[in-house]
Chains A and B, each alone.
Chain A
Amino acid sequence: MDFPTPTQDWNAMTDEEFRRRAADLFGTHVPRHLCHLNRRPRWAEVKDWYMTMSSHGWLVPGWPVEYGGMGLSPAKFLIYVEELERSGAPRVMDQGLMNLGPVLIARGSEAQRRKYLPRILSGEHLWCQGYSEPNAGSDLASLRTEAHLEGDEFVVNGQKIWTSVAFDATHMFALVRTDKTVKKQAGISFLMIDMNQPGVTVRPIRNIAGHEELCEVFLDNVRTPRDCLVGGLNEGWQVAKALLGFERIWSGSPRQSILALLRLERFAKLSGKMDDAGFVDRLTQIKMDVLDSASAYDRFAQIMRTGGSFGFEVSVLKIWATETCQRVTELMVEAAGEAGTLTGDVDLGGEAIDILYPFLECRAFTIYGGSSQVQRNILAKSVLNLPA
């Protein structure tokens, strides 16, 4: 399959010009009815938007140009993400774009890149991530889903969980155990699996906000060709770790706290809470917490923009951004009193606001992508040099 020819050297543009182009493109094409959605949309809803972005060559900012990406520098990448966020665009099936693509580019074979990357761009392959298991959460390396070779195929057995939107995925990339006799990290491999075959069962899990986007995935004698192994046998842990980088700063972005804060301020105006000096003091405090979160994010973004690098200290961002976001939503529920016990849009005299949903939704933020406690463990050990 061929890659589309690049049309433009985006990195040669000034930041302002690129920002304008991004805002124009997103603003023109983003589907209005899906903007600032309170839930993860289904593939059928966002397919057109995905294909529009793809046809403009704007689907993947980070991949190199030769594989159909925009090849953006870190600075332009940030602008892209900021403008996409600002446009309110719905989240698409992005595991292939954000995770598998970069893994194949870094650690895959040329044949794998030629086969899979164009199919991600065309929307033919939709990927989900099979990492967590019922007994392998924070301690991911203890995972037990296993694969063994039979001729030219791996046979996979086990169970994955907390897999986002697995029901819309055509494929899964998974960490599986291929050697039980060695240290746990050393016996893991990275496999790509076609979901459309007997033995794959997907069961959605309803979350506390009432939505079903997380799934359990059961793998029962599921087969995948030997050439679906990425990196070498038992090198899966290293392959997965190569994914860090942009993800690590992005998971600490203040965007969710800022949205929550705007909602809280709108609530405060509508409900007359701005006349309550006690509330205003707490609102000011939390507002400054959110702005400080943005300052901290900008500091790391600045380092990235100027070509610098940073280590595990970036975990500070995720801890503060996600815990601050939670405090914002907690203040809104508390300030709302009785109204804070109602589900769905609550009428506040002319305008309605969903008070509980943000509170419930952001419980997940401090759990996924390395829980707040795991982040603290990492910082204690790797940055503060505290003993084990």
Chain B
Amino acid sequence: MLRDSAADFVRASTDHKRLRKLRGTSPGYDAALARQMGELGWFGILVPEQYSGLGLGFAAMAVVVQELGKGLLADPMVPIVVLAGQTLRRGGNEALKERQLSGLASGSLAPCVAWQEGLGGLDASAIETRADATGEGVRLVGRKRFVAGAGGATGFLVTAKSARGCGIYWVEKDAPGLKVSFEWRADGTPSGVVELDGVLVPPASVLTAPSAQGLLGLERAIEEAAVMASAEMLGVMEAGLQMTLEYMRNRVQFGKPIGSFQALQHKAVDLYVQQELARAVLGEAVQALDGGASGAESSMIASRCKSRCSDAGTRITREAIQLHGAIGFTDEYDVGLYLKRALVLSGWLGNASAHRRRFAALSAQHAEV
């Protein structure tokens, strides 16, 4: 049912012309569409019922995100609902959670997580941003980068360290000392740079107090968001491959549809094999998240999932350009939009090789215990 309504939404709302117009602008997605998604309740899928959400699981979330991915309409779902929402859920500040999660579920608030710095990477604790204690609370000083969803964000969950370890702090988007600017991703969507020049955080806005375990909840949320980004990637690759197969059936050269040539058929089949592997691993990862698999187990399947989906998505959309020939190289033809979205999703939250390294490290740890 959820899949049908998401598919209907995508059929009615997919508009690549509008998408092209939004490139290089903030927030980089159609706010009216995002409002509709809110009305459909999709922002509340993962939010527990006590915070006015639907309290459904990742299986439901994955279905919606995958379908939206087919129409390149998933932004800003995963950054807000999964990365920020799941980080909030695991925080220790009940009043802040209540306010932010219920706003998120209704679509009125759009919190985002500002956790990476420098050149990025998956190690959430590798940060320089400081939380300095003052009389009224703490002051944040640092520079965050690669903040997904920053364009439409109503505020940020900022990670920072102090003598006691790392903590997570809530900062409103118009807080004094906060400056948001953008770098532009392959698909024309903004990637936020958040500069914090002594931004004051009162005690009521501390989500997670600094400690050695202060980022555990965020790390778990990053894994969950990586799996949901993989679901979006599955939708992107499905649409990219479908478009390519359709072209191969219709494009005539040498007096025949090019899809009748065996060399091209076998190439297309290899892409289909990758798509089906991605679907299978994603299914297993979603099951692990919903089934409450243990830490190491769910971390490993999450990495395997993001790795396969990143590889499969970029490979399929890259080869899609080749199979289209010159027309695929034009900005006017839609298949290039799918390659660019795949590039963004592949790199966000760790690409295939980053997750392979993580998987290897986890395997080695696992073997020792």
Contact = CB atoms under 8 A, between A and B. Distances in A.
Interface of A: 280-281, 283-285, 287-288, 291-293, 295-296, 298-299, 313, 316, 319-320, 373, 376-377, 379-381, 383-388
A292 B308 contact: yes
Given A295-B283, A299-B279, A377-B262, A384 B269 contact: yes
A69 to B, nearest CB: 31
Given A387-B249, A387-B259, A292 B265 contact: no
A379 B274 CA distance: 13
Interface in B234-260: 245, 248-249, 256-257, 259-260
Nearest to A293: B277
A373 B266 contact: yes
B268 interface: yes
A281 B279 CA distance: 24
A386 B259 contact: yes
A281 B359 CA distance: 10
Contacts of A383: 272
A284 B360 contact: yes
Interface string B269-313: 110110011011101100000000000000000001001100000
Contacts of A373: 266
Interface of B: 245, 248-249, 256-257, 259-260, 262, 265-266, 268-270, 272-273, 276-277, 279-281, 283-284, 304, 307-308, 353, 356-357, 359-360, 363
A376 B269 contact: yes
Contact of A316 (B245, B260, B276, B356): B276
B313 to A, nearest CB: 14
Contacts of B276: 296, 313, 316
Given A288-B359, A379-B272, A385 B249 contact: yes
**Could you tell me the dominant secondary structure of chain A's interface residues?**
helix
A386 B273 contact: no
B355 to A, nearest CB: 9
B262 A319 contact: no
Contact of B245 (A313, A376, A384, A388): A384
A385 B245 contact: yes
B305 to A, nearest CB: 9
A316 B272 CA distance: 8
Contact of B308 (A288, A298, A319): A288
A292 to B, nearest CB: 5
B257 A387 contact: yes
A298 B248 CA distance: 31
Nearest to B308: A292
Contact of A386 (B245, B279, B360): B245
